[in-house]
């Protein structure tokens, strides 16, 4: 596995641990549908949370969360809808971004709850 893929996987592990510490129940990681992926599917109380994790070795060029493009958001919404239908889940949902910095140890830079809304992407 290439170094950037390994960095991404370690960042996702750090994000899962962060969410669990905050009381989230993790339903799935790296869930795929039609070549689209959800990094983390979690639940907080009565709300499903679909999480995009961005990990960077440095913030010299951009913050990790700045790499979440509008197309990536659309793909996440598409996959989240498929997840909810496949699992027959009828709960409110939201989209979060977890930004991870990979220096010495993996650190959560920021957890952006409700980072974007599906209806804003039209």
CATH class in words for 3-121 = alpha beta
Name the residue ranges covered by the structural domains of the chain: 3-121
Residue 15, helix vs strand vs coil: helix
pLDDT band at residue 8 using 50, 70 and 90 as cut-offs: confident
Q: Judge contact between 19 and 26, C-beta under 8 A.
A: yes
Task: Report pLDDT digits (tens) over 60-77.
Answer: 778 788 889 999 999 999
Cα 54 to Cα 42: distance, rounded to the nearest angstrom: 16
pTM of the model: 0.91
Token look-up 């709960």 returns 91
């Amino acid at each position: 596995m290439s170094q950037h893929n390994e960095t991404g996987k370690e960042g996702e592990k750090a994000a899962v641990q962060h969410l669990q510490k905050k009381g989230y129940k993790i339903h799935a990681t790296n869930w795929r549908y039609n070549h689209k992926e959800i990094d983390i599917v979690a639940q907080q109380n009565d709300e499903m949370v679909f999480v995009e994790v961005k990990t960077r070795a440095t913030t010299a060029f951009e913050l990790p969360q700045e790499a979440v493009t509008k197309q990536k958001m659309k793909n996440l919404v598409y996959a989240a809808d498929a997840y909810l239908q496949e699992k027959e889940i009828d709960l409110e949902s939201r989209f979060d971004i977890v930004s991870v910095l990979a220096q010495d140890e993996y650190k959560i830079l920021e957890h952006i709850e409700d980072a974007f809304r599906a209806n804003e992407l039209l």
